[in-house]
């Protein structure tokens, strides 16, 4: 029995350490922002690593005062081909809504650097060749700098489970840690007591068992203390519950969108230029929710078929979507970036597919630009033919991971 008690103690210690570590690990429940956007981040890191090398390969061409042979032109050709590849990769990053504004600026800089390289190739060996090479080198250096600035924006990613990125997150995390401490201390205390009892009162030759009908005083103590803790928790969390759930405490803002859950996707409708839902100029998307940083956002949540659950884990927001009900949900984000929307209610065989992207824009202007572009694309695809065609048209331009 002594060995079993030691094994139990070790297992208890490992389990306790795991639960204490879990909330501080970005990858415990969900892929981190860096993992979700690995390809786009690799593109930025590749630009930062390769641009200086390519710029250095062009420097020796500055003083060339005679027509260049194919071997001399090779660095310029390699640089142009590399810039073409980076433009394509940045285009993919834009399509996936990764740092949209910065990615577009990088794509434009890649085009300018490529034009400078092509010009340098044409002027190589002429009096203007050195200046053209300088412009090409300068374009590559600027390209590298912009990539570094973009990378710095994802050092502490918006999608991290660890970062406090919403108003509710601070309150919810505080309650979570408080409960973790209470339950952790209780678990450790019970585990230690159990191990001591297993060790001290193990079976031994000549020892007789002693039976007791219990202690009324002890039973009162271990009933009153847990009851007092539960009452404390119930009262302590009222402020957070009121801020998140009570509409009387919410700011007076217009609903941003209608979000309808169905097997197995999130349908999202934004009011168009007229500001009203249910009119021909509404914008329809699938699995693609956008809003603005630092702005309180309200959505109207619905369900078409079964119960679903609207879950923004990074923002610490969860609300069931119930058929026949329209439920307002309030949230915000303090940091622009890309987050995840999940269904936290088992809703059928395709439950695992109910995963959407949430894009938090840096400014209202950036959101308005996305809105205008999406409306133009929707008009070209003629999504008004039927609700189903609207979903398909919206989904056709969306990368769902």
Contacts of 138 (CB under 8 A, 6+ apart): 116
Tell me where in the chain the CATH 1.20.120 domain(s) lie: 38-152
Q: What is the mean pLDDT of residues 80-97?
A: 87
Distance CA 250, CA 255 (A): 12
The band of 391, judged by pLDDT with boundaries at 50, 70 and 90, is very low
Fold of 251-396: Immunoglobulin-like (2.60.40)
Q: What is the mean pLDDT of residues 91-103?
A: 75
Whether residue 306 is predicted with pLDDT greater than 60 in this model: the reply is yes
Q: What is the mean pLDDT of residues 191-200?
A: 83
The band of 156, judged by pLDDT with boundaries at 50, 70 and 90, is very low
Pairing assessment for the beta strands 288-292 and 283-286 based on DSSP bridges: unpaired
Whether residue 370 is predicted with pLDDT greater than 60 in this model: the reply is yes
Q: Summarize pLDDT for 37-71 with one digit per residue, the tens.
A: 778 888 999 999 999 999 998 888 877 666 666 67
Q: Summarize pLDDT for 340-359 with one digit per residue, the tens.
A: 888 999 999 989 888 888 88
Distance CA 228, CA 221 (A): 11
Percent of the chain at pLDDT exceeding 90: 29
Task: Please report the pLDDT score of residue 154 as a whole number.
Answer: 61
What is the layout of strands, in order, in the sheet containing 297-303? 283-286, 265-270, 257-262, 297-303, 327-331
Whether residue 119 is predicted with pLDDT greater than 80 in this model: the reply is yes
Task: Please report the pLDDT score of residue 297 as a whole number.
Answer: 93
Q: Summarize pLDDT for 210-267 with one digit per residue, the tens.
A: 777 878 888 999 899 999 999 999 999 888 888 888 888 888 889 999 999 998 899 9
Q: Are 136 and 56 in contact (CB under 8 A)?
A: no
- As a whole number, the mean pLDDT across the chain is 81
CATH of domain 38-152: 1.20.120
Whether residue 163 is predicted with pLDDT greater than 60 in this model: the reply is no
Distance CA 248, CA 320 (A): 20
Whether residue 168 is predicted with pLDDT greater than 60 in this model: the reply is yes
Task: Please report the pLDDT score of residue 394 as a whole number.
Answer: 43
Tell me where in the chain the CATH 2.60.40.420 domain(s) lie: 251-396
Task: Please report the pLDDT score of residue 150 as a whole number.
Answer: 78
Choose between 316 and 27: higher pLDDT.
316
Task: Please report the pLDDT score of residue 22 as a whole number.
Answer: 55
Task: Please report the pLDDT score of residue 393 as a whole number.
Answer: 43
Q: What is the mean pLDDT of residues 358-378?
A: 88
Task: Please report the pLDDT score of residue 162 as a whole number.
Answer: 53
Whether residue 384 is predicted with pLDDT greater than 70 in this model: the reply is no
User: Which of 141-155, 296-310, 383-397 shows the lowest mean pLDDT across its residues?
Assistant: 383-397
Task: Please report the pLDDT score of residue 170 as a whole number.
Answer: 80
Q: What is the mean pLDDT of residues 303-312?
A: 93
């Amino acid at each position: 029995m002594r060995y079993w008690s030691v094994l139990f103690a070790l297992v208890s210690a490992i389990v306790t350490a795991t639960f204490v570590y879990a909330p501080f690990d970005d990858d415990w429940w969900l892929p981190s922002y860096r993992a979700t956007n690995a390809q786009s981040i690799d593109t930025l890191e590749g630009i930062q690593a390769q641009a200086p090398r390519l710029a250095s390969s062009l420097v020796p061409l500055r003083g060339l005062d005679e027509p260049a042979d194919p071997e001399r032109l090779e660095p310029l050709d390699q640089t142009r081909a590399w810039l073409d590849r980076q433009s394509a990769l940045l285009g993919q990053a834009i399509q996936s809504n990764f740092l949209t504004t910065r990615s577009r600026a990088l794509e434009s800089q890649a085009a300018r650097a490529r034009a400078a390289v092509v010009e340098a190739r044409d002027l190589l060996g002429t009096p203007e060749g050195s200046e053209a090479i300088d412009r090409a080198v300068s374009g590559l250096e600027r390209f590298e700098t912009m990539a570094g600035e973009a990378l710095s924006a994802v050092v502490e990613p918006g999608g991290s489970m660890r970062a406090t990125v919403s108003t509710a997150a601070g309150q919810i995390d505080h309650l979570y840690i408080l409960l973790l401490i209470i339950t952790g201390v209780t678990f450790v205390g019970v585990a230690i007591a159990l191990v001591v009892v297993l060790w001290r009162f193990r079976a031994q030759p000549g020892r007789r068992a002693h039976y007791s009908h219990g202690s009324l005083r002890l039973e009162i103590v271990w009933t009153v203390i847990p009851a007092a803790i539960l009452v404390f928790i119930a009262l302590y969390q009222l402020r957070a519950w009121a801020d998140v759930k009570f509409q009387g405490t919410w700011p007076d803002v217009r609903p941003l969108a209608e979000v309808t859950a169905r097997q197995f996707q999130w349908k999202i409708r934004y009011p168009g230029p007229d500001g009203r839902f249910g009119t021909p100029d509404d914008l329809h998307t699938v699995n693609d929710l956008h809003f603005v940083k630092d702005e309180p956002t309200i959505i109207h949540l619905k369900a078409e078929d079964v119960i679903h659950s609207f879950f923004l884990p990074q923002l610490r927001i969860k609300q069931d979507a119930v058929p026949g009900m329209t439920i307002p949900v309030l949230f915000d984000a303090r940091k622009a970036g890309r987050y995840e929307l999940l269904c936290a209610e088992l809703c059928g065989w395709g439950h695992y597919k109910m995963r959407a992207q949430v894009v938090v824009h840096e400014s209202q202007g950036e959101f308005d630009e996305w809105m205008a572009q999406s409306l133009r694309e929707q008009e070209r695809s003629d999504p008004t033919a039927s609700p189903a065609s609207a979903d398909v048209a919206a989904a056709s331009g969306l990368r769902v991971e």
